[in-house]
Amino acid sequence: MSTILPWVISIIETTPERWMRLTLNLPDELIRRPPAAGEWSAMECLHHLAAAENVTLYRLEAFLSGTPSFPAYNPDAPENQLNPRVRPLELANEFASRRSASLRLLGKLTEADLQLTARHSLLGHVILDQMIHEWAAHDLNHTIQAERALMQPFLSGCGPWIEYFQDHLMK
C-alpha cells in the first residue's frame, strides 16, 4: 500500500488547524497586510485556499463518479473574489468546514481509486493520484506563502539579523 494517501490526509487535516490558530491569535491588520506590491497577503492566501476547496471537492467527486472531464479553476473569476468585509477568523471557519467535507470523502478512497482518470480542460489527461499530490503541495505552498507575508514587518525591524532572512525578503 502506498503511503501517499495517509501523508496527504495528514497535510490537509493540518492546514485548517494552522489557519485557525493564526486567525485566532494574530490581529486582522497583520493578516490583511500586503507584504509587497504584487504579493498576496495572508488573508488572500487563506481566501484562495477556501475558494479552491470547493473546486477540489468537485474534482474529487468527478473522479469518483466517473465524470470524464472537468474545467480548469479560474481564481480571477468573480465568484472567487475575496469579500473585503469577511473577517479572517470567519473565513478560517468557512475553510475548515469545507475541508471537513473533503476529508470525509477523501477518507473513503481506496488504493484502486487513486488510478481513476479524467480530463482537465487545460492539463489534459490527469490521474486522481496526481491530483491528491497537488492538493497537499497546494496547501503547503499557500500556507508558506502566507507565513512569509506575515514575516515582512518583523524582518524590516531585525537590524543586522536581516542577513539570515535574505531568502524571505519581499521587495
* DSSP result, 120-146: ETTTEEEEHHHHHHHHHHHHHHHHHHH
Vertex 138: Cα angle to 102 and 129 (nearest 5):
65
- Specify the amino acid at residue 140: L
148 alpha carbon, distance to own chain's centre: 15
- The yes-or-no verdict on residue 2 having pLDDT over 80 is no
Q: Where do we find the cell 525591524?
A: 157
- The yes-or-no verdict on residue 117 having pLDDT over 80 is yes
The closest of 46, 69, 61 to 120, measured between CA atoms, is 69
pLDDT recorded at residue 80: 85
CATH of the domain at 60: 1.20.120.450
- The yes-or-no verdict on residue 170 having pLDDT over 80 is yes
- Tally the domains of the chain: 1
Q: Range of 45's domain?
A: 4-168
